[in-house]
Amino acid sequence: MAETALLEIGVEDLPPSFVCEALQQLKEKGKELFVSAYLDYERIDTFGSSQRLVCQVVGLSPHQRPRFDKEMG
């Protein structure tokens, strides 16, 4: 069963020109985090204002994908 996760970050007043870039970085870093943690998701949405940055992960799997490591030496 897929879940929805929400991360809200309170910040000092950001200039409006910084908010768009911060939201883009939040989305990119979120994707990297979930891929490296072997967690599947449907999509990541970001929202924000000058004092809040929000990352919503829709369709987040409650379990990690199986991970197989093969070491040779």
In contact, 60 and 4? CB cutoff 8 Å: yes
Q: What would the pLDDT profile of 16-37 be if each residue is shown by its tens digit?
A: 889 999 999 999 999 999 999 9
Structure tokens given for 57: 């992960």
pLDDT of residue 69: 84
User: What is the model's pLDDT at position 73?
Assistant: 81
Q: What is the pLDDT of residues 1-19, one digit of tens each?
A: 789 999 999 999 999 889 9
Q: What tens digit of pLDDT does each residue of 42-54 get?
A: 999 999 999 999 9
pTM of the model: 0.81
* Cα 13 to Cα 31: distance, rounded to the nearest angstrom: 25
